[in-house]
Amino acid sequence: MFQLALLAILIATPITFTYLNIRCDNLSKDIAVALNKTLNKRISSVLHLPENQPDAKSMHDLVTLVLSSRSLRSVAYIQNNHYIYSDRNASLHTPISPSLIERLKKDKLPLLYRKRSSLNQIDELHLVVKGTKGFYQLFINAPYMDDWLTNADEYLRGYVVTNNGNILINNKSYLFHKSYHSGQFPFKVIVGAKSSQVLLGIGALAAFIFILCMLIVLIINYIQTNNFSFKKDIDRAIKNNEFIPYYQPIVCNQTHQIIGAELLCRWLYRHAQLISPNQFITKVESNGQIKPITLHLLKQLSIDKPIIAHCNKDFYVSINVTLSMLNDPRFVDDVILLIKQNPTLQQGLVFEMTERENTTNEFIKLDKIMQRFRALGVSWALDDFGTGYSSLSSLKELNFDIIKIDKLFVNSADTDAVTSSILNNIASLGKELQCKLVAEGVETETQLNTLKSLLIDYTQGFYFSAPTSRCGFIAFKTEHNEQILKIMDKNPKRYVTLKYHGPTLEI
């Protein structure tokens, strides 16, 4: 925690000074421009005044000028080292101070300096500009200008000095500052921040950085904890047999008989809430927990298969395996041992190889693994054909028994001529390779009829049944068979057409 706070301060300090540097630079320029504009406005307003004894109208204009200004206290005209008139007196003829006489001789005009008034002890800014014959002297309210400069920025403060460094507006007491020289008048604007303001800025930014870092740490910790919690939850679920097999029927398009099923995983969370696979399958595949889950499902299948097959020796059940699973020698050995120990898995078991990974460089190794399982009676299906990696090369290099056509093609087969043509080519390819074809994701009768017309062997999808439990599968299979018998009773001539063929998987 201390190291994080120190890091926040180390990051905040240069950022704060960089910000102050830019902000002070810009503000000093803005103040100088505003001050130049104000002084030029005041000068232009007095240069039209007469350079001799003023008449009544001129005096009226002069008085109006002074009274209408917040900062201008008085205006006087000087000639021959004497005040000729002012806004308060039309006829003065009073000598100016020796110091002003000296300034007029030595200093470059316009003159700008700060002086305390001897009459009312109020600080004034004296601006002296040259007229045609004499000089105009403007007396500006210095406290008003001090307030104006103080409120120029909410946090930063500034002051104005002459080119000699004498104070014109405000006092100087800043730790950090930037200056800007006026090109028209003899002053420069200095803007800075007090040490307390600099420390406050560093502290505030450091606190923000510290809190932000803490939030990032908490988010990372939450993600890691959540992943750990998920993995721990999966381990507990495997131990408590919460992963259960659901079966989706596979129907023969020629006989309408249920000739097999695909085993799909469901998570019965704490034996109370059923969780869909799209909420956990991707995670367990990425972290490797899919392997013990698959082993558990195969153990359950060894019990369920004789029940759902119901004495049909040609009935098969398929289950998904991935390349990463097959590349794990320990997993392969565990599955082989499980099959050897359970005779019910030595017939009618199909492994569906999913194409979520590139198999191009793994053909020789994969073929050897596939042959080990074939020796135990396992058949192989290529899942999601046409959507994964190198499907055609996989078919050429590896010996598959079944090709499963992805639902992407099935869904648009009855509306898209291009897709229909692709399906026709897949069907021809399947016949050429002597593979059975299974179309996934069939949802409508139109899709089913299209697949039949293309001589696709089997179909699978919600048109027949959603994935269901063992009991649900048995109930659906019984009802489905009864419907077929009713059709055969009504039309005996169709008996030969409906005769059960079943898959030839050479197992």
Domains, the chain: 2-201 (3.30.450.20), 240-498 (3.20.20.450)
Q: Please tell me the predicted confidence (pLDDT) of residue 166.
A: 82
* Gap between the Cα atoms of 127 and 240, Å rounded: 93
Q: Supply 120's token pair.
A: 């009312």
Q: Please tell me the predicted confidence (pLDDT) of residue 443.
A: 92
Q: What is the band of 16 on the pLDDT scale with cuts at 50, 70, 90?
A: confident
- Give the mean model confidence (pLDDT) for residues 448-459: 91
Q: What is the band of 507 on the pLDDT scale with cuts at 50, 70, 90?
A: very low
Other C-beta atoms lying within 10 Å of the C-beta of residue 460: 25
> Which backbone phi and psi does 256 adopt, to 5 degrees?
70, 10
Most confidently modeled of 232-236, 310-314, 370-374?
370-374
Judged against a pLDDT cut of 50, whether residue 499 lies above it is answered with no
Q: Supply 232's token pair.
A: 């721990």
Judged against a pLDDT cut of 60, whether residue 21 lies above it is answered with yes
Q: Supply 481's token pair.
A: 């068979």
pLDDT tens for residues 99-120? Answer: 999 999 988 899 999 988 877 7
* Gap between the Cα atoms of 144 and 153, Å rounded: 16
Strand ranges, E, within 157-288 = 157-162, 167-169, 176-181, 187-193, 243-252, 258-269, 273-275
Q: Please tell me the predicted confidence (pLDDT) of residue 390.
A: 44
Residues sharing a CB contact under 8 Å with residue 160, sequence separation 6 or more, in sequence order: 31, 35, 149, 167, 168, 169, 170, 187, 188, 189, 190
Judged against a pLDDT cut of 70, whether residue 340 lies above it is answered with yes
* Gap between the Cα atoms of 324 and 340, Å rounded: 22
- Give the mean model confidence (pLDDT) for residues 357-380: 84
Q: What is the band of 194 on the pLDDT scale with cuts at 50, 70, 90?
A: confident
* Gap between the Cα atoms of 222 and 230, Å rounded: 12
- What's the pTM value of the predicted model, to 2 decimals? 0.56
Q: Please tell me the predicted confidence (pLDDT) of residue 173.
A: 65
Judged against a pLDDT cut of 80, whether residue 394 lies above it is answered with no
Largest CA distance in the chain: 139
Query: 110-119, 157-166, 242-251: lowest mean pLDDT where?
Result: 157-166
What is the residue-averaged pLDDT of the chain?
85
Q: Return the closest-CA partner of residue 463 out of 452, 198, 471.
A: 452
Q: How far apart are the first and last CA of the chain?
A: 65
Residue 414: strand, helix, or coil: coil
Strand order in the sheet with 123-130: 94-95, 82-86, 72-79, 135-141, 123-130, 111-116
CB 476 within 8 A of CB 251: no
Residues sharing a CB contact under 8 Å with residue 376, sequence separation 6 or more, in sequence order: 336, 339, 340, 346
Q: Please tell me the predicted confidence (pLDDT) of residue 361.
A: 61
Q: Please tell me the predicted confidence (pLDDT) of residue 494.
A: 45
pLDDT tens for residues 49-101? Answer: 888 878 888 888 889 989 988 889 999 999 999 999 999 888 888 999 999 99
Judged against a pLDDT cut of 60, whether residue 133 lies above it is answered with yes
DSSP annotation of 263 reads: E
Cα 72 from chain centre: 57
Strand ranges, E, within 54-99 = 72-79, 82-86, 94-95
Judged against a pLDDT cut of 50, whether residue 497 lies above it is answered with no
Cα 497 from chain centre: 58
- Give the mean model confidence (pLDDT) for residues 20-48: 88
Query: 153-167, 340-354, 441-455: lowest mean pLDDT where?
Result: 153-167
Q: Supply 44's token pair.
A: 């232009």
- Give the mean model confidence (pLDDT) for residues 180-202: 83
CB 94 within 8 A of CB 81: no
- Give the mean model confidence (pLDDT) for residues 204-228: 79
Judged against a pLDDT cut of 60, whether residue 502 lies above it is answered with no
The angle that helices 417-432 and 445-453 make with each other, rounded to 10 degrees, is: 50
CB 189 within 8 A of CB 202: no
Q: 361 or 443, which is more confident? A: 443
- Give the mean model confidence (pLDDT) for residues 394-402: 82
Percent of the chain at pLDDT exceeding 70: 89
> Which backbone phi and psi does 165 adopt, to 5 degrees?
95, 5
